[in-house]
Amino acid sequence: MALKLNIIGAYFLSLLLALASARKPLVFDVTTYGAQLNMDITQALSNAWKDACASPIRGKVLIPRGTYKLSRATLEGPCKVPIKVQLQGTLRAPTDPSGFNEGDGWVTFRNVDGLTLAGGGTFDGQGSAVWGKNCEQQQYCGKLPINFRFDFVTNSLIRDIISLNSKQFHINVLGGQNVTFSRVKIIAPEDSPNTDGIHIGRSSGISITDTVIQTGDDCVSLGDGCKEISIRRVTCGPGHGISVGSLGKYSNEDPVEGVIVRNCTIRNTSNGVRVKTWPDSHDGLASNLHFEDIVMENVGNPVLIDQEYCPWNQCNAKVPSRIKISDVSFKNIRGTSTTALAVNLVCSSGFPCQNVEIADIDLQYSGNDGPIMSQCKNVKPTISGKQNPNPCAT
């Protein structure tokens, strides 16, 4: 009897161990697929991803410490279960951008549900080789690759990674839902053109937290169709600030609704927080936009609504924007401005801004072009709390 019980006990113990082992994520190490230091690991990474994506057991694609070359990677789902990519080392893009088409990503994740990208590693786009060389400095170099594209990625986490010197945008999110970026570092010099940190379009439930963005364009930019976007504890600068827009350049743009920017620090940037739309635009809506508890350090145009946004005179500035802006607040914004016009609300004469609130603004001007001031155009904001500069005059 005792022997029988021991056999049964051993059987159940082995079953429990098997179940525990089955629950442990599998590791798909690219070095076991032929990846070698300082060599191109494109094929090894693709094969490791395919096996991990097809596995019925949770898997982790591992890129160990060291430096590797990567020509291009498109990592597609859907996968059978949630999947993790853990980059511990450094991946370097080719310096030659030939072969990339408009909007291409160097590393693209597409149609993945439950992605985790982490590990503390670096994606080095080697953008200094092409900045200002493939097109004029003031033109958009669309054929240069974006460091990351996240296309139709859902319920995912991007954490503890570094995006370095992208040739164009660092991160582009399209059609995403419930995606969090946390403790991400984005680094490029101030004079690197079109290197937006994180650009989001037609996505909902996107959160950016505890992230540092140093770049040559917008730290965060939101295109049409963005809904329920949260940007918190982001340090931005250098760069062009945090922007909603530009909106209205294209037909059939979706509304932007529900944006909160809170507890951020913006330093040494050309703009602070802004909403920008093209004049002579297509119809559109932007509403429920809130900017709160923000520190500005040596920032040009700290608080800005610009419905006459027309870079390089690419539009008819005499025709008013048709983007309707409403329910916007700027609260508890303090620090220093490098321009005398620190609060500048320029709304559309055809569709004046509605329900704009300005509360507790305390900005000091660091230049010599006269006293700090504010301006309102086609908007009558609700004013409360401390106001420096004085409340804007129409």
Contact 144, 100 (CB under 8 A): yes
Contact 78, 113 (CB under 8 A): yes
User: Which residue do the tokens 């319920």 mark?
Assistant: 155
Please name every residue paired with 274 in a beta bridge, in sequence order, or none if there are none: 243, 304
Dihedral of CA 88/44/123/52: which sign?
A: negative
Contact 253, 222 (CB under 8 A): no
Question: What tokens appear for 340 in the block?
Answer: 């005398």
148 closest CA partner among 134, 162, 131, 129: 162
178 closest CA partner among 163, 196, 200: 200
| Distance in angstroms (rounded) separating the CA atoms of residues 108 and 148 | 6
Core vs surface per residue 94-129: b (16+ CB within 10 A) or e: beebeebeeebbbbbbbebbbbbbbbebbbbbbbee
| 199 catalytic per annotation | no
Distance, CA of 351 to chain centre: 29
- In what helix (H) or strand (E) does residue 46 lie, and over which residues does it extend? helix 42-54
For Cα atoms 202, 215, 259, give the angle at the middle one, nearest 5 degrees: 35
Q: Is 43 exposed, middle or buried (0-12, 13-18, 19+ CB in 10 A)?
A: middle
User: Which residue do the tokens 């030659």 mark?
Assistant: 96
| Distance in angstroms (rounded) separating the CA atoms of residues 196 and 301 | 18
Catalytically annotated residue among 170, 199, 240, 282: 240
Question: What tokens appear for 113 in the block?
Answer: 């549900």
User: Which residue do the tokens 């989001």 mark?
Assistant: 200
Question: What CA–CA distances, in Å, run from 344 to 61, 289, 306, 371?
Answer: 48, 16, 8, 14
Which sequence positions are flagged as catalytic? 240
